[in-house]
Each structure stands twice: as C-alpha cells, then as structure tokens.
C-alpha cells in the first residue's frame, strides 16, 4: 500500500498547511511492526520533513504504540526536539524519570501535553520497589499518579492503550487483535485530570466514555470490516480552562476505497464501473455452479481484488455438515459426488466406465510404485 500511504500522508500535510494548527499529535503505531522496512522509514521521514517545513513551524508530538519499537523511535529524539519534534518512545522506567511534558501557550495560557507511550506492566516495574505483578490498568494509573498535574491549567494526555468505560468497550475491526481475557483494558476513570485525551490504538474513530476522550482512528482502511468507516483527521479546539473542547473532523478521501461485492460472476462483470474498478474489493460469488476461470475473468475488470469467496447451496451445505471426524471414502465415490455438484447431474454409464478404468489404472500404478 505504498502509493495509498503516500497519498494520504500528502493530504494530511495539505490539511495542516490549510488549518495552521498550534500542534500536531500522532498517538502511536507510527509503523506496523517493530522493525519497519527501509521504504516505510523513508516514507515517514518525508512526511515529518514536509510537516516541519510548514511556516510558521508547527510543533509535532509523537508517542510509540504497541507495534513500534520504542528504542528505535526514540533515536535522535534530542536533536529532533530542537526542531519542535517531540518524541516519546519509552515510558518512565526509573524513579527519576517522568512522562515527557511539552508546554505550549495561547491566548488562554498554558496547555500541558503529557506524552505517554504504550505501557506494558513490566516496562514500568522499576518505578516501585515492591515486586508484585501489576495489571495494565494499575500500571497506567500509577504512572499518571506520579505526575504533578496543575489543575488550574489545561492538560492534554497523548496515550496508546485499550481504554474502556466500565462495561462499554471501543468498537474494533477485524485487523485488530484482542488480548485474551481483556487483560490490557484500562478504565477511563484514570483520565479524569485531563481536559482532552488523544488516543491511538483503535482503528475506528470514536469517543470512549466522554467526548473529550477520543480515538482518532487510522487514516486508511486496513480491513474489509472498515468499509463503512469514515476516516478523518480529528481537529480539537481548546478554549479557556473549564470549557468543553470543540471537536470537528476533517474528512480524508483515500486513493482507493474498500468495497464488498456480492452476486453472480456475470452480474459482477456487468456492474463494474470504470470509476471504481481500481478500488480494493472483497468479492462473494453466488453462482450455483461455480464458473470456469472466475478469478481470471474478475481480474480483467477489478485491479485490486482482496479476496474471492463462494456462497452457494453447496458451500452452505458443507459448512452445515457435521464437523466431526472425516469419513474416508473411495476416490471414485468422491469424484462422482464432485461431478454431480459441479454439473448438476450424475455421470452417464459411459462416463462411469471411463472413470472406473482411470482410477483402476491409477491404483495399479500406486501398487507398482
């Protein structure tokens, strides 16, 4: 998705030039793996450079997510800070360390940004002398409790965790991995001291608990389950202390949409529109008799096919069958059943004799071999 990533990052840069925000926040998962490709690093480097070249210069605040390598992301952070790029890769690990705090000012006074990268309990065990194991929730609570937060000023937290509001959980997508037992869940009650919390980690843009606790979501759709999601940049305007933030969304239009298509092969070929033939498509074929070379024929029309599924009477019957131990059947019987399902009729006597001879020759060859 190199071209799609480059396109959407260029659109974010254009939006930043137009809006001229006081700060740009990226709440983690800069990359999708701890050792990103050289191509991904180069692309992100160009993105940061383009943002830094906007005049007047806009402070950039970044944290590491669970997919990032905290140590790699922290590289050269001291030099970058001199250019108003503030990066926090690792949470505090010793009693002398605290969250990175960046203070900006506007007409209403100070705004304190606390940068809290993704926390696993063992990352921060060194902050306390006792050896008891910590939960995710307790680890985050304790890290925040160490900070001397001035409740007379406006405070913003940038965080990358799985937050819940009591029994309410954020809506997730297929491409996100749930942790067994919900052990990574952190209740939003720990966020009470903050006037706004910029959250990463969840692909769907949404609030959790309060309007000012928000997941911005991903700038692109990374699974078919995200087809209906509206991707955007979250734009937040903070007034004076004690007033509700004004939250708007700047829509992001991707280079290619994600779509699901369903129908017979001929229907899908006929309904293909030139304007959407290059979209990412998930296709479900409903032909009762599976057509010949369907994949090849679809690829002539749709350039970015994600998957092709079949949903007809035969596949539904197979799914409904008992999933117990498979019954061993004679090869001839299996072929005869397959022939009938594909052709909609039984073999003729002549076809039966021909196939019996072929299977007999095959069995004889196996015995000799």
Identify which of 226, 216, 299, 294 has the alpha carbon closest to the alpha carbon of residue 256. 226
Question: Which residue, 234, 251, 268, sits at the end of a domain?
Answer: 251
Note whether 67 and 33 are within 8 A (CB).
yes
Distance CA 13, CA 18 (A): 9
Distance CA 357, CA 20 (A): 79
Kindly indicate the confidence band of residue 319, based on its pLDDT and cuts at 50, 70 and 90.
Answer: low
- Do residues 200 and 336 share a domain? no
User: pLDDT tens for residues 186-214?
Assistant: 999 999 999 999 999 999 999 999 999 99
Question: Which residue, 188, 221, 251, sits at the end of a domain?
Answer: 251
Task: Compare 133 and 240 and report the one with higher pLDDT.
Answer: 240
CATH classification of the domain holding 40:
3.60.21.10
Residue 177: the pLDDT is 67
Q: Which two tokens stand for residue 115?
A: 């940068």
Kindly indicate the confidence band of residue 64, based on its pLDDT and cuts at 50, 70 and 90.
Answer: very high
Extended strands (E) in the chain: 24-26, 60-63, 85-88, 100-106, 109-116, 154-159, 162-164, 185-187, 196-199, 206-208, 210-215, 232-237, 246-251, 258-263, 280-285, 304-310
**What is the domain range of residue 189?**
2-251
Note whether 321 and 297 are within 8 A (CB).
no
Question: Which residue, 224, 251, 278, sits at the end of a domain?
Answer: 251
Is the entire prediction scored with pTM above 0.85?
A: no
Note whether 217 and 184 are within 8 A (CB).
no
């Amino acid at each position: 998705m190199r071209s799609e990533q480059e396109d959407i990052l260029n659109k974010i840069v254009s939006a930043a030039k137009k809006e001229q925000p006081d700060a740009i926040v990226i709440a983690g998962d800069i990359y999708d793996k701890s050792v990103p490709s050289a191509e991904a690093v180069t692309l992100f480097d160009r993105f940061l450079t383009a943002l830094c070249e906007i005049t007047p210069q806009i402070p950039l605040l970044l944290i590491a997510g669970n997919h990032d390598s905290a140590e790699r992301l922290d590289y050269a952070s001291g030099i970058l800070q001199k250019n108003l790029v503030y990066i926090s890769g690792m949470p505090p690990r010793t009693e002398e360390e605290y969250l990175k705090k960046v203070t900006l000012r506007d007409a209403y006074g100070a705004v304190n940004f606390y940068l809290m990268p993704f926390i696993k309990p063992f990352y921060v065990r060194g902050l306390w002398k006792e050896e008891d194991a910590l939960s995710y929730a307790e680890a985050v609570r304790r890290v925040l409790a160490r900070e001397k937060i001035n409740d007379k000023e406006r405070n913003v937290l940038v965080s990358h965790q799985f937050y819940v509001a009591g029994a309410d959980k954020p809506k997730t997508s297929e491409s996100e991995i749930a942790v067994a037992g919900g052990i990574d869940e952190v209740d939003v009650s720990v966020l009470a001291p903050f006037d706004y919390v910029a959250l990463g980690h969840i692909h769907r843009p949404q609030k959790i608990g309060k309007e000012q606790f928000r997941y911005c979501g991903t700038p692109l759709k990374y699974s078919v389950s995200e087809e209906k999601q509206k991707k955007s940049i979250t734009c937040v305007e903070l007034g004076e202390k004690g007033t509700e933030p004004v939250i708007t969304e700047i829509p992001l239009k991707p280079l290619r949409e994600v779509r699901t298509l369903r129908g017979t092969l001929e229907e899908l070929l006929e309904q293909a529109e030139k304007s959407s033939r290059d979209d990412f498509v998930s296709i479900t074929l409903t032909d009762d008799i599976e057509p010949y070379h369907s994949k090849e024929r679809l690829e002539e029309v749709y350039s970015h096919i994600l998957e092709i599924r079949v949903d007809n009477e035969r596949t539904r019957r197979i799914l409904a069958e008992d999933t117990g131990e498979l019954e061993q059947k004679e090869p001839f019987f299996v072929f005869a059943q397959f022939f009938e399902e594909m052709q909609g009729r039984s073999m003729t006597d002549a076809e039966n004799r021909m196939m019996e001879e072929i299977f007999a020759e095959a069995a004889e060859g196996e015995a000799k071999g």
